[in-house]
Structure 1
Amino acid sequence: MRELLNASSIERQEAIQISEMKNWMTPYLRYLANEILPEGAEEARQIKRTANWYTIVDGLLYCRGYTTPYLRCLTPKEADCILSEVHFGICESHVDGKNLAFKIMRKDYYWPSMKMDALEFVKRCKNCQLHDILRHQPSTELKSLQAPWLFEQWGLDIIGPFFIATRLKTKLEDAGGSWVDELASVLWSYRTTPKEPTREIPFSLYYGTKEVIPVEI
């Protein structure tokens, strides 16, 4: 097939219309690149005060940290992709919202509402809600109790029983005969989740380096 053109396709110029979507990064990009502040006095004062925490590298906005490298700032759409990838991706880890946000920050990504967004994202996860630990404490005010003998009023069992984790058992039972295939992802999630006593992950404590999870924008 042949097509006859009235003008050369190489020399012809094409105009592509690009619409800029405004988000939380737009004021920082305009101020750092061109020193343009928002019209509102309060917003302009806030941007000018917090702009030192950000920098532009190759046209992308990054956030500075105390002990972390530059964190790539994400748009709301990119943030949703990262939340889904870390929570449901190839290295899925159904952790709570606080640990989910911590994992994303360790992957060198940042946006201001990441902790709140991670909490809301976990609340919408069906599996997290089905296998969450049930709270049996009644939602009522505490009342004083009369104790017939010493120390009974506290009702403490110092010896035990100790808390028994049920999440691993539940996940393996749901897998049926294919629990061997699920074991690797369960162990990876455990080893890459920060623990309360140290606020570090077992992987980095053992190997002395940060784990690498394939999460990219």
Structure 2
Amino acid sequence: MEKLVLALVCAAKRLRRYFQAHPIVVITDQPIKQVISRLDVAGRLQKWSVMLGEHNITYRPWTFVKGQILADFLIEKSNDAPPDTSVIKTPQESWTLFTDGSSCVDGSGVGLILTRLEGTEFTYALRFQFTASNNEVEYEALIDGLRIAAQMGVRNVHVSADSKLVANQVLGTYVTKEENMVKYLEKTNSLISGFANFSISQVPRSKNKKADALRKIASTSFAHLSKQVLVEVLKEKPIQEEEVATVKKASELCIKARQYELLEGVLYRRSFLKSWLRCVGTLQADYVIREIHEGSCSMHVGPRSVVAKAMRFGHYWPNMHRDARDMIHTCNACQIHRPVPRNPQQPLTPITAPWLFYKWGIDIAGPFPKGLGKVKKFVWDNIVCHFGLPGEIVSDNVNSSVITRSRIAIREAKAKLKMTKYYNTRDCGVTFRPRDFIYRSNEASHAMDGGKLGPKWEGPYEVI
């Protein structure tokens, strides 16, 4: 069996482009699918199962020759015309949509009234926060009315609009030339395609008084609107919506679909290090979490441990970590025995370690000894040698040259101390006595390299 699976894996590697572009049908009399689909499969078969799972492979058994010939004959001689079937048509109620819109200095708004023959009436008003012309507002009213009707499940609709331009452009009588009007017309046609029956007509404003009153109220203010009128605020035009990247979403969906497999009516998800994980529903996921967290073992562990153990048992569902965390937050025992934080109520103020004798104040009383280096010697003998290097020296009775020389002396002492520490760490402190024999490295004497097996030292030399 492993040889057959290996042969299929080699064929998938050699013909990878064909396997990825087309569905593959494998006709065999061996139970390859049952073997590689077992949850307890391990070793090389598990690895090959993961490799073959990314392709759309269908396994079919061999059929008898006579049965195959008979099936081919029936396919070739079958009647192309299918039998007539009676279709029962359910009557759909007809609705009438009255639209009206206007644009003025105060704003833009539309009024919509959706009625049917029985007398049921729905009123709707929309106020726009973007600038638009009168024709654009009329299209907005038509688009939003069709959107609301589609959400209500209306299949047959007749639109009564008072804009002659919009009605004739939708019917195809007028030619649309402007770019915005073309986009509005395309958006309208896409919504019209969702209805079984659609018709539109232009009506005078005298027969559209209710919608006209709604659009006037929506375009001016909201103070006088009735509580029965629903008002919605739109911030952007529908033609400015971003186009959906269908190709990109389809490719992402294909990539995600490779991780799942439907085996005998049960959905499984591929795992990287384990066997196939069985996808469970909401109720089963809740049962698994509670059984692991507070079941017979009563572990009461965190969400990460619960999810890891559920995956080890072969279960998977989306949002595993979130569901486990939400369930643990509702566990009474975990809330009672959870660790209590000991953090202070207010943030702590850090206290830095003090630097003794960091700042020195110098005030010279009387004549100072004259001569080169007297100030440096005074600072070195009385401050540096007794208390270490100071961080700052302040004086108000010494000229700038004295302060400058003091600062130079401090920086010089710091540099000397730094170099002394550096050389002391590198010095090994090895001493040689007379008549001692030593070896000298070839790198120090620049001697010729003797190769990998040659000597690395010269000597011995005697110390005199």
More strand by share: 2
The answer to which structure, 1 or 2, has the higher relative contact order (CA under 8 A, 6+ apart) is: 1
Q: Radius of gyration: which is bigger?
A: 2
Give the TM-score normalised by the residue count of structure 1: 0.46
User: What TM-score results when the alignment is normalised by the length of structure 2?
Assistant: 0.22
